[in-house]
Structure 1
């Protein structure tokens, strides 16, 4: 009886996905303020004043129009940034992702096998495979704990892309094929 009760209240990895709020569009003023803060350490006084003028002009002109377009985009999407991020960070990049973007899979004990010692390839490869398969099972069974900020659940959707996914080469932009399914 106790085991059934535990199962009924146990969180599932992807259970909050449909109830998460949409990604908000940051206020234009806040984005421009952060931009100016990031420029300040690299600009002398004259350069910074010129940059402030350019930012002010942008905020009142093109920035205002572009921000409206972002707000329109956000009304029709749950995550207005996701598609752009995926394209720019992964699909438009003309270098191999595995070597240059995705360095290693889930392997919490990997640091114990680095730097590599001669004759440990089989041991290290076996450990990596074992950890990856265990992680895959956690995801398939939705047993991976939900990541949270305090008590607020975070988006776990990116974990669906870790397994059963491949990047299909294209001429100018690659595409993604994903076949991940939970075991439920």
Structure 2
């Protein structure tokens, strides 16, 4: 089996996991992965744009905190209200909503916390490292549970995160007049 982003030969799909594993993936892993991905990526632009606009780490922290909690509530509600779980086998909607919401908040807050450091350059440097670790963890979860080829999933997650990060930095510079 090839682990390259674009295999030259068709790759057979992974075997279907046993029912209890499939239920765990549908009811726990997918909602958590959805939340982690959304929280980690959707908060990048507002946080880094705020850091660029104000030059004040605590402002970026509060924007990241608000974006993380707001996104967590929104994603939790969206997941809980998406279906009743009976037809899809995705389990109890309330539990999925809580998992997705909590994972969204966690994904957004991990790279927000460095902005509690008063020195902007130190906060930014630490936040960059945290973002890379977050994206690699997401890729590893996708590889482990969704059987995505590791190199391909790392590439996809890093490129997606880099695009959003770049937009945030660009908007911060644009708004700051640079």
Greater relative CO (CA pairs within 8 A, separation 6+): 2
Query: Do the structures match in fold with TM over 0.5?
Result: no
If the TM-score is normalised by the length of the shorter chain, which range does it land in?
Answer: under 0.3
The structure carrying a bigger helix percent of its residues is 2
TM-score after normalising by structure 2: 0.24
TM-score after normalising by structure 1: 0.24
